[in-house]
């Protein structure tokens, strides 16, 4: 199949794997790369094509999507002689869906533009359930023409696509999302810990909270896990610490400190230091229980 019709994908983790499978199920020719080829093996058996690295992927596909660990991973993939930007052809589109730094997104977009390549920052929210169901929300920074070119692909993986502005704006929107999540998690953990310490069943209180003003998708998804001590993981503490660190670092100089985000990051950092970095976000209640 011609490279114009091929889609490259890097990042076959919990979320990325589900997103790649949705593209494959929709009939797209998906080329994949992973640091560990064993991670890609199930996708290759299902029809994906292997690329030996970022450069090979860029040369094989006119559109490349990435969702990796963090800014360091993004920089390694996109920049340098063996990166996606240097090996893409004019008119190609590179879409980073990682939660990463706004400044890095702007740098990638500028270097790509210098080569006639389009680049978007398009982080997502919706978690693993949203990735599996194809109901993710995309927050996109970059040129409108680039977004128009890849929007049909994004709509295979998500149900909402928001154009946020220039390069880096998608990452700012995602940081805003994570700041809001931090506040919700703090409130939820404290509410359930308070109820439990006062002699009420936290599961029953969570059920009440979910039906009222405090209710919402995060409450419905994590509240029962938090109350019951369910260890099932859909998003890890260590990744959330990374996200909050990005948000705090991106706060404009001279602006008010992000107090809730910083507190939430510090509480999670304590859990991570005690060996809980791979636990799910519901483990925040352990801070109060311990």
Beta strands in the chain (DSSP E): 6-10, 29-33, 49-50, 63-66, 93-96, 118-121, 124-125, 136-141, 158-165
Q: How far apart are CA 70 and CA 13, in angstroms?
A: 13
Tell me how long the chain is.
290
User: Which residues participate in catalysis according to the annotation?
Assistant: 174
Nearest one of 200, 201, 223, 199 to 211, comparing CA atoms: 223
Ramachandran region, residue 11 (left: φ > 0; alpha: ψ -120 to 50; beta: rest):
left
DSSP of 163-178, one letter per residue? EEESTTHHHHHHHHHH
Question: Six-digit token pair at 190?
Answer: 């404290």
Angle separating helix axes 169-197 and 202-211, nearest 10 degrees: 130
């Amino acid at each position: 199949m011609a490279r114009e019709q091929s889609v490259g994908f890097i990042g076959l983790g919990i979320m990325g794997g589900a997103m790649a499978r949705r593209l494959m199920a929709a009939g797209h020719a998906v080329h994949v790369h992973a640091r560990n080829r064993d991670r890609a093996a199930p996708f290759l058996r299902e029809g994906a094509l292997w690329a030996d690295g970022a450069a090979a992927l860029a040369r094989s596909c006119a559109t490349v999507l990435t969702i990796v660990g963090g800014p360091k991973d993004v920089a390694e993939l996109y920049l340098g002689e063996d990166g996606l930007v240097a090996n893409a052809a004019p008119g190609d589109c590179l879409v980073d869906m990682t939660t990463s730094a706004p400044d890095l997104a702007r740098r990638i977009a500028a270097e790509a533009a210098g080569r006639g390549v389009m680049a978007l920052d398009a982080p997502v929210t919706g978690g693993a359930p949203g990735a599996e169901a194809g109901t993710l929300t995309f927050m996109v920074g970059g040129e409108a023409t680039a977004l128009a070119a890849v929007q049909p692909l994004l709509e295979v993986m998500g149900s909402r696509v928001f154009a946020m502005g220039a390069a880096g704006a998608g990452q700012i929107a995602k940081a805003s999302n994570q700041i809001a999540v931090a506040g919700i998690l703090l409130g939820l953990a404290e509410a359930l810990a308070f109820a439990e310490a006062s002699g009420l069943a936290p599961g029953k209180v969570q059920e009440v909270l979910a039906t009222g003003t405090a209710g919402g998708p995060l409450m419905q998804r994590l509240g029962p896990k938090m109350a019951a001590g369910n260890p099932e993981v859909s998003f890890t503490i260590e990744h959330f610490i990374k996200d909050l660190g990005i948000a705090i670092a991106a706060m404009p100089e001279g602006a008010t400190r992000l107090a809730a985000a910083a507190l939430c990051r510090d509480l999670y950092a304590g859990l991570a230091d005690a060996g809980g970095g791979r636990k799910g976000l519901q483990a925040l209640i352990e801070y109060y229980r311990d």
